[in-house]
């Protein structure tokens, strides 16, 4: 390569090989880039970023209405109402990174995808040349090459060799050839470069040091146009010609194995009958028609053709085929999740779900194994196809450690239950990805087909394979390909295949695309037993069943009957189950809670409300008031016993108060209705502060409470912000409640004396 230094289009590769110090801060060819600024300019909503700087978008009005967690770093994002968490506007700054940023080959997809303007094959070949140049550079200065690789690796040479092997496999797979032929493709590209050194076109002023993202894009475009496209657009013919030259090479022509492999001699029927080691039939190879090979042939066909001849729907299908094949498993995944919901929804604790493995679950009964094994296998197959793509930025992305999870017997059952936290994020990400994939593909195809009709919509719960772009690559798509190709075989020349692309596209549209509905992307989240009582569940309950307060005399009678903590806790467990069902299904407000528990939910008589007065008086319209009453009683008793009544509440809201803060708080509580304050604060701790976003922790507690009350259209606590010191924050909520609870106990003790 030293003789090529005058060629500007080869300068980046030569710098990597012979002057790598110039490339330490360069934008290396074929590396991914930050497309955030382009997406932000598309005006699809308002963009924010989490504390770590990861961007996210809120569509519609652009204002947050729920809290969430960043899929990259798990920080709190979003928010509720005016209490928006971490909602600073996202920076338009381009965050594309310099250096080699692909990581180890294990984390990469098996198929090279297009990057910027590069085609998948051009990207694979250029990436291979880049790794070759970097490997050469290790002989000159290994420290400079090591500095280019991010994150750093221990063995630079081995790292680059693994990437080269991966590149060769990807090129072979995308062209439908073997590894030897992939190496031959690289050889032909290098020969093309040497034979066309003088052709630099209009690229003489390109920045050969690739100091900017734009200069990298311009260089990639120039290199592809000048050196890659002329070779790769005719690679099948060039490979055949190369093979012919090898066969005619006298140095190889007398090699008996070479003559057998390429069928240079006529058939010897005598040797076939003997079946010795040099029998021609044993060495004969017929190249199979594969989907990867078809994709490559189609790229060759599309080069330089006008739009009407390009078969754009087929092109779109082949571009996304490696993901679309996962859609065949989607109905089974939804069925699996529905059955798991029926078994565990609102009954399984989060910790139990993390410890209960797939293997243990399948062993629970023969019926379970027969019912779930095939469904779990469908999840496993779809997960294997999709998981490398879930690492990228997007609404369904998850961190690397989750992408690395394998579906095996030791996998926790929580992985299959869609949730916003824990391993349930894997199922949620998979569902979101498949819904978006299907809807985007159908929308794109309708646009290409100029079909302006509005597609029907269908909820996920009702989908079947007939509603999706669902197919088995080997059983459905490959036979369709074979039906539209002419396959011929000549001894000594191998196989020749010609495709009728127009007919293939037409049948593809008719069979897999036309009439397919859009999926309604409302994914039901799994609710764990301890998550039943949160703000959103109570909001849904109140929308379905308007709530009323239990009168004070009735409250006192109920508490007098529930004089044991175990009775209070048992009654609360029954209420938890009832609230979970009522928030989803609703009910008759005038129906007694006792009747609902035992007739509706079929609870045994040993369970229930444990109070005759509650059974007689309390109706479904009182269930929230009863839950608050019993929760307050439980918390009071546990606090008296020096036990923690908030074991499932985040440690973030348990910061201690100093003596001065406690003194000022006690003084302020003397001027308030302390019983009302204790009840409201307990409600907020249990419903809204279990998983409070970090940036709300430093809000003054008094302002937080009144803002929440206003948001819920309830009466604010008069004088709260005046009498509760500002330095008592949300992070002190539990300690403030304990102080207020003690204040209330002292007051009632004095009243009884």
Residues 210-224 have a mean pLDDT of: 89
In terms of C-beta density within 10 A (0-12 exposed, 13-18 middle, 19 or more buried), how is residue 248 classed? exposed
Say how far apart CA 55 and CA 91 lie, in whole Å.
8
Nearest to 382 by CA among 433, 419, 440: 433
Q: Are strands 518-520 and 457-459 parallel, antiparallel or unpaired?
A: parallel
Tens digit of each residue's pLDDT (9 = 90 or more) over 417-442: 998 778 888 999 999 999 999 999 99
pLDDT of residue 36: 65
Residues 32-61 have a mean pLDDT of: 68
pLDDT of residue 525: 81
User: Is residue 569 predicted with pLDDT exceeding 80?
Assistant: yes
What are φ and ψ of residue 404, in 5° steps? -80, -10
In 197-328, the DSSP E strands lie at none
Least confident of 341-345, 460-464, 485-489, 620-624: 485-489
Tens digit of each residue's pLDDT (9 = 90 or more) over 535-554: 778 888 888 999 999 999 99
pLDDT of residue 701: 92
Any idea how long the chain is? 753
Angle between helices 312-324 and 291-302 (to 10 degrees): 150
Q: What percent of the chain has pLDDT over 70?
A: 82
**Averaged confidence pLDDT in the chain:** 83
Residues 587-610 have a mean pLDDT of: 88
pLDDT of residue 623: 94
pLDDT of residue 176: 75
Residues 445-460 have a mean pLDDT of: 90
pLDDT of residue 84: 47
Residue 692: pLDDT band (50, 70, 90) is confident
- Whether the CB-CB separation of 94 and 27 falls below 8 Å is answered with no
Least confident of 59-63, 133-137, 232-236: 59-63
HSE, CB side, 13 Å, CA atoms: give it for residue 122.
24
Residue 489: strand pairing partners: 495
Dihedral of alpha carbons 7, 10, 13, 17, sign: negative
pLDDT of residue 59: 62
SS3 for 274? helix
Say how far apart CA 438 and CA 452 lie, in whole Å.
18
Give residues with Cβ within 8 angstroms of 282, minimum separation 6.
275
* pTM higher than 0.75: no
User: Is residue 365 predicted with pLDDT exceeding 90?
Assistant: no
Which range is most confident: 236-240, 258-262, 701-705? 701-705
Tens digit of each residue's pLDDT (9 = 90 or more) over 180-197: 889 999 999 999 888 877
Within its chain, how far is the Cα of 388 from the centroid? 9
Residue 55: strand pairing partners: 49
- Whether the CB-CB separation of 361 and 416 falls below 8 Å is answered with no
What are φ and ψ of residue 592, in 5° steps? -70, 145
Residue 83: strand pairing partners: 80
Give residues with Cβ within 8 angstroms of 185, minimum separation 6.
125, 171, 175, 177, 232, 235, 239
Residue 702: pLDDT band (50, 70, 90) is very high
Say how far apart CA 603 and CA 590 lie, in whole Å.
20
What Rg value do the Cα atoms of the chain yield, rounded? 34
Give residues with Cβ within 8 angstroms of 119, minimum separation 6.
224, 232, 299
pLDDT of residue 48: 77
SS3 for 89? strand
What are φ and ψ of residue 77, in 5° steps? -135, 175
SS3 for 139? helix
User: Is residue 122 predicted with pLDDT exceeding 50?
Assistant: yes
pLDDT of residue 104: 83
pLDDT of residue 82: 44
pLDDT of residue 253: 53
């Amino acid at each position: 390569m030293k003789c090529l230094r005058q060629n500007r289009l080869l300068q980046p590769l030569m710098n990597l090989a012979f002057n790598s110090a110039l490339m330490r801060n360069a934008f290396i060819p074929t590396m991914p880039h930050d497309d955030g600024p382009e997406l932000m300019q598309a005006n699809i909503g308002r963009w924010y970023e989490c504390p770590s700087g990861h961007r996210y978008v809120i569509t519609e009005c652009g204002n947050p209405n729920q809290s969430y967690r960043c899929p990259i770093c798990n920080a709190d994002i979003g928010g509720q109402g005016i209490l928006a968490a971490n909602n600073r506007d996202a920076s338009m700054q381009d965050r594309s990174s310099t250096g080699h940023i692909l990581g180890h080959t294990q984390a990469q997809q098996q198929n090279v995808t297009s990057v910027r303007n590069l085609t998948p094959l051009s990207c694979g070949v250029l990436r291979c040349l880049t790794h070759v140049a970097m490997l050469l550079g290790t002989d000159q200065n290994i420290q400079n090459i090591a500095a280019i690789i991010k994150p750093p690796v221990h063995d630079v040479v081995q790292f680059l060799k693994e990437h080269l092997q991966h590149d060769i496999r990807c090129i072979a797979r995308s062209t439908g050839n073997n590894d030897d032929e992939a190496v031959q493709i690289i050889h032909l590209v290098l020969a093309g470069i040497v034979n066309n050194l003088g052709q630099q076109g209009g690229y003489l002023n390109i920045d050969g040091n690739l100091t900017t993202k734009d200069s990298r894009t311009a260089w990639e475009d120039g290199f592809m146009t000048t050196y890659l496209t002329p070779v790769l657009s005719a690679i099948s013919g060039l490979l055949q010609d190369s093979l012919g030259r090898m066969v005619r090479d006298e140095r190889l022509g007398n090699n008996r194995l070479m003559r057998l492999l390429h069928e240079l001699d006529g058939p010897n029927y005598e040797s076939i009958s003997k079946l010795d080691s040099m029998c021609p039939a044993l060495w004969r190879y017929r190249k199979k028609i594969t989907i990867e090979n078809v994709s490559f042939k189609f790229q060759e066909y599309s080069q330089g053709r006008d739009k009407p001849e390009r078969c754009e729907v087929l092109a779109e299908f082949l571009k996304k085929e490696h993901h679309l094949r996962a859609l065949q498993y989607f109905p089974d995944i939804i069925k699996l999740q529905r059955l798991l919901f029926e078994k565990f929804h609102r009954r399984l604790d989060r910790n139990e779900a993390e410890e209960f493995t797939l293997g243990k679950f399948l062993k629970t009964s023969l019926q379970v194994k027969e019912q779930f094994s095939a469904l779990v296998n469908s999840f496993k197959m779809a997960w294997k196809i999709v998981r490398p793509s879930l690492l990228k930025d997007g609404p369904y992305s998850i961190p690397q450690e989750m992408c690395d999870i394998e579906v095996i017997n030791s996998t926790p059952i929580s992985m299959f239950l869609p949730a916003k936290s824990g391993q349930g994020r894997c199922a949620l990400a998979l569902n979101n990805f498949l819904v978006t994939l299907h809807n985007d593909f159908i929308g794109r195809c309708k646009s290409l087909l100029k079909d302006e009709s509005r597609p029907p919509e269908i909820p996920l719960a009702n989908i079947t394979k007939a509603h999706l772009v669902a197919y088995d690559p080997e059983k459905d798509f490959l036979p369709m390909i074979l039906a539209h190709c002419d396959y011929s075989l000549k001894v000594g020349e191998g196989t020749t295949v010609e495709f009728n692309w127009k007919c293939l596209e037409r049948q593809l549209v008719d069979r897999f695309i036309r009439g397919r509905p859009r999926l309604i992307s409302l994914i039901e989240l799994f609710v764990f037993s301890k998550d039943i009582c949160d703000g959103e569940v109570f909001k849904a309950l109140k929308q379905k069943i308007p709530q009323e307060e239990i009168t004070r005399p009735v409250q006192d009678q109920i508490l007098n009957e529930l004089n044991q903590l175990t009775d209070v806790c048992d009654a609360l467990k029954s209420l938890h189950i009832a609230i979970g069902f009522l928030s989803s299904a609703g009910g008759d407000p005038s129906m007694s809670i006792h009747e609902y528990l035992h007739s509706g939910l079929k609870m045994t008589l040993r369970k229930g409300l444990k109070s005759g007065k509650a059974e007689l008086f309390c109706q479904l319209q009182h269930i929230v008031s009863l839950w608050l009453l019993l929760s307050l009683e439980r918390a009071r008793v546990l606090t008296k016993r020096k036990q923690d009544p908030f074991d499932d509440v985040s440690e973030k809201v348990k910061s201690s108060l100093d003596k001065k803060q406690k003194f000022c708080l006690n003084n302020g509580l003397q001027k308030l209705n302390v019983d009302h304050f204790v009840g409201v604060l307990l409600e907020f701790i249990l419903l809204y502060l279990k998983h409070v976003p970090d940036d709300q922790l430093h809000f003054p507690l008094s302002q937080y409470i009144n803002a929440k009350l206003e948001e819920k259209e309830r009466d604010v606590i008069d004088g709260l912000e005046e009498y509760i010191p500002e330095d008592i924050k949300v992070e002190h909520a539990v300690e403030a409640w304990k102080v207020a609870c003690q204040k209330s106990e002292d007051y009632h003790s004095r009243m009884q004396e």
